[in-house]
Structure 1
Amino acid sequence: MTAEAYKAINWNRIDDMIDKLTWEKLVEQFWTDTRIPLSNDLSDWNTLPLNEREMIAKVFGGLTLLDTLQSQDGIEALKKSSRTQHEEAVYNNIEFMESMHAKSYSAIFSTLNTKAEIDEIFEWTHSNPMLQKKAQIINGIYQDGTDLQKKVASVLLESFLFYSGFYAPLYYLGNSKLTNVAEIIKLILRDESVHGTYIGYKFQVGYNQLDETEQEELKNWAYDLLFRLYENEIEYTSHLYDDIGWTDSVGIFLRYNANKALQNLGFDPLFPDTAQDVDPIIMNGISTGTSNHDFFSQVGNGYLVGMVESMDDSDYEKWMS
């Protein structure tokens, strides 16, 4: 009996052009945390009140946990339903960058915090009930959900759950503080914009092949999941920001991004909050451009492709048309 031939991936024959476009976008955006001069933020860090430094440490600890979840379990779960070799290759790229994101937070910790403080941060991430709850909800779907449910969970993680943590560095950026730390966050935001859009697109491809009854059941399940995560996220946000006085403003930002996650899935918004309701300092910071335009120049002009902008709404609309 002749064994089935092993197939080499052929990028000259593409079934879905979105795979090729996304691969190219992700490669153009490649970056590493070692190219950002984080130590330049130490003077800002040392002037912050203790409660703000503790809040920032928890914020980045939480983000580390979520990126670890996405890199170790999330993308691996999505790869199992890849329709083509090209789609799997894109997921491989996303998986690596999620690991880069998780590592980048450790680069921030090693610059701003003592070893004892870092140990405390990671102990907090392992014991905080709200943080652990959202990780367990998402990972439970990665382990036991259907292929389309896994994509819903991934989009909600990429496009919604990260943003309670992103708020703080964007706020400091808007006030000209911790600008290099915020530069890393903007690079991560740029990646997550592509990840959420791409995985949402792949969800829609599968969703559109379901009959009306199946679509309605899955849509209701997705909204129920979002609301369950939102209730926990509001509690988590309160834990992080009550002492600083930012909880209400962060809540608006969360609801705005929850609607963006639904948009990525092709669903209608759930909340009334729009970009006009979000603090303009945060909306200015969420722009996916970066300021350190020459930070790759030391290692050759080929890395300058990392300066390109991420996919925006016009790209998304072009894909969907």
Structure 2
Amino acid sequence: MELMKRKLVDITAPNRSTGIVNGESSNILNWDDVRFKWAYPTYKRMLGNFWTPFEINMSKDRQQFTELNSLEKESFLKIIGLLALLDSIQTDYASRAADYLTDSSLQALMIILAQQEVIHNHSYSYVLSSVTDKAVQDEVFNYWRHDPILQKRNAFVTEGYTSFAKESTVQNFLQSIIYDVILEGLFFYSGFAFFYHLARNQKMVATSTMINYINRDEQIHVGIFEKIFKEVLAENPEYDTEELKSFGTEAFREAAELEMEWGESIIGNKIEGLHMNELSDYIRFMANKRAEQMGFKAPYEGFRTNPMRWIIAYQEVDLGKTDFFEQKSRAYTKTSEANGFDDL
């Protein structure tokens, strides 16, 4: 079934949408009269989490970057280059998805989500401009063009997105959401682990702080697309098939294998104290977690507990934003549904 784009204004339709896709809506947003009760609390959380890279003092990271060993520098730059590519794609995907969501409240969430992806992408430029010169920055932003491992893992997601962009059917939309959750909920995680590992050794703490905020945003994004996925299936049960479930499980398995290959390339056992066997198990654990979150069978037997428990503290952010950017150690909030962090 083809997806119909949301009308700019429909004077004959109600303000409250009649469906998540291919429904009717005036496109006038009244937050007190929306179809999905979870939309407004999510909107408030996203606004409450607003941040910009300018808030983060990079002066100490600028000094420390020169003190990193060559392997740490190489991994640092390659991971920043990867994240910049993925969040650039996400900005565009969010706007394309928004075109087909009948409900105006969900379109509003997509606009904020896309804005956050722009901020994420800016943060990578901000980090690079703080620690290195323009020539290196340009090189980093072109890694995706020639690194074969990067090309393979990026093509996995971009081809799925492209299928939706070329043929906007319900089936392709559902599959594109699976790729979205993989990108935001799995593909970032070996890179995040690297930055958190540096931070626990009191290295590049400002960069890790920025990654904290990105990590927090991405987890909310995963939750939004999970809900959209399930709402589309609830309203169009003919698409809730065993084929889709099998597709989802296999997609998460393939994604995990690609993420482990990438992790081996950038980290391997080259970074002291960060072991590839633990990182691989962590990726399998996250693949299982994300697959089941979407309603699919876990791709791996076992891997039910997080083998890198230390990482939890570095994914929890002090939401007070007092003076913690200048602190050498961090004060963290307790993980809860209210602050939007995964219960890892």
Which range, TM-score by smaller chain? 0.7 to 0.9
**Stretches of structure 1 lacking an aligned partner (at least 5 in a row):** 297-307, 315-321
CA RMSD of aligned residues (A): 2.4
Aligned amino acid, residue 59 of structure 1: I
Q: Does 1:141 align with 2:171?
A: no
What is the Cα deviation at residue 265 of structure 1?
1.1
Q: Tell me how far 1:295 sits from its aligned partner.
A: 7.2
Which residue, out of 129, 146, 149, partners 1:127?
Answer: 146
Q: In the alignment, is residue 48 of structure 1 matched against residue 68 of structure 2?
A: yes
- Per-residue CA distance 1:233-278 (angstroms, 9 max, x = gap): 2221111112336322321222222223224313343332244412
Aligned to 1:28: 48
What pairs up with 1:160-309 in 2 under 5 angstroms? 160-211=186-237, 214-242=240-268, 243-244=270-271, 246-271=275-300, 272-278=302-308, 280-289=309-318, 292-294=321-323
8 Å Cα contact 2:186-2:283 kept in structure 1: yes
Q: 1:154 to 1:160 in 2, by over 3 A?
A: same
Q: 1:92 aligns with which of 111, 115, 132?
A: 111
Answering whether residue 110 of structure 2 is matched by residue 65 of structure 1, we say: no
Q: How far 1:36 moved relative to its partner?
A: 0.3
**Which has the higher relative contact order, 1 or 2, with Cα contacts under 8 A spaced 6 or more apart?**
1
Distance 1:4 1:79, change over 3 A: closer
| Cα gap change, 1:274 to 1:114, in 2 (>3 Å) | farther
Q: What 5-or-longer segments of structure 2 have no aligned partner?
A: 1-8, 12-25, 165-171, 326-336
Distance 1:41 1:10, change over 3 A: same
What is residue 299 of structure 1 aligned with on the other side?
A: none
* AA at the equivalent of 1:244: I
Amino acid at match of 2:316: S
Specify the code of the residue in structure 2 equivalent to 1:170. Answer: Y
Change (3 A) 1:291 1:164: farther
Structure with bigger helix share is 1
State the TM-score, normalized to the length of structure 2: 0.80
Any conservation in 2 of the 1:155–1:199 contact (CA below 8 Å)?
A: yes
* 1:77 Cα deviation after fit: 3.1
Distance 1:80 1:143, change over 3 A: farther
1:76 aligns with 2:95: yes
Identity of aligned residues (%): 25
Name the TM-score, length of structure 1 as normaliser.
0.85
Determine the C-alpha separation between the residues in 1 that align with 2:194 and 2:131. Answer: 15
Superposition deviation, residue 219 in structure 1: 0.7
Separation of aligned partners in 1, 2:114 and 2:99? 13
Of the structure 1 ranges 265-274 and 186-195, higher mean CA displacement relative to structure 2 is found in 265-274
One-letter code aligned to 1:36: I
Out of 115, 127, 131, the position equivalent to 1:108 is 127
